[in-house]
Amino acid sequence: MTVRKVLRGLLVAIPVIIASPVLVLAIQGGMFLPVGMFIAIYSPWTPFVWFPQTKWLVTHTLWMSRDLRVVLMDAGWILIAAGFLVFIGSYVYFYAIRNRVGLVTSGPYSVVRHPQYLGIFMGLTGFTLLGARPIAVIAWVTAVCTYMALMIYEEGENDRRFGEAYRGYRERVPFIIPFFPRALTRPWARVFAMPRPAQYAAIATLYVALVAAAITLMRDRAFPT
C-alpha cells in the first residue's frame, strides 16, 4: 500500500469519526440518555466534558422556539433524504462509467465536481439541524473542513493524472455548490490556484475562524439538558 493510499484512507476515515455525534442525534431525539451512553455517543469529543469551559458544548442544547424547532426538523429530514439520493446517485454513476471514460465529467459531475461530497454535506447538515446541540455544530464544521482538505488532495491527484483535460473541466464546473454565481466563487478560485500546502493552510484558517464564530454565537443560546 502506497503512502498516498494510506493518506487518503485516513482523510476519509477522520470525518466519519468526528461526525459521529451528528449522525447519532437523529436517533437520540428527545429521549433521556444515561450519562455513560451519552459519553459513548460523543466519544470523539469526550475531552470537552473534562473541562468546565467546554463541557457545555456537549451537555447543552441550543435554545429556539417550538415553531422554529419544527421547521428545522422538517428541513433536516429533507436534507438527509436529498443528500442520500445525491450521494448514492453520484456514487453509482461514477463507478458505472469511470473505467470506460476515465475522467468523469457528465451526469451529476457536470453540475459540480464533487457531487458525492455535496450529498454528504447535505446529509450532515440535516442531522445537525435535528440535533441542535453545540457539539453537533462543531462536529459539522470539523467534518466539512476535513472533507474539503480531502477534496483539495483529490483535485491535485486529478490534475496530475488528467492534466489539461481536468484543468479545463475545473474551469467549467463549480467546485461543490451548484448553480452559484461565478462572480461569487472567484475568491475560492484564487485559493485553488495556490500550491497545495497553501490551500491546506487556508482551510485550517477557515476552520479556526468558523469554530470561533460558532462558539461565540452559541455560548449564550445554549441551555443544559
In the chain, where are the structural domains located?
A: 3-224
Band (pLDDT 50/70/90 cuts) for residue 3 is low
Q: Which residue has the higher pLDDT, 157 or 14?
A: 157
pLDDT tens per residue, range 17-67: 555 555 444 444 444 444 444 445 555 666 777 777 778 887 788 888 889
Q: Select 3-224's CATH number: 3.40.50, 1.20.120, 1.20.1300, 1.10.150.
A: 1.20.120
213/5 Cα distance (integer angstroms):
34
Quick: pLDDT tens for 161-186: 999 999 899 888 888 888 776 666 66
pLDDT, greater one: 97 or 139: 97
**pLDDT at position 10, please?**
59
Confidence of residue 12 (pLDDT cuts 50, 70, 90): low
pLDDT at 37: 46
What percentage of residues in the chain have a pLDDT greater than 70? 73
Predicted TM-score (pTM) of the model is 0.78
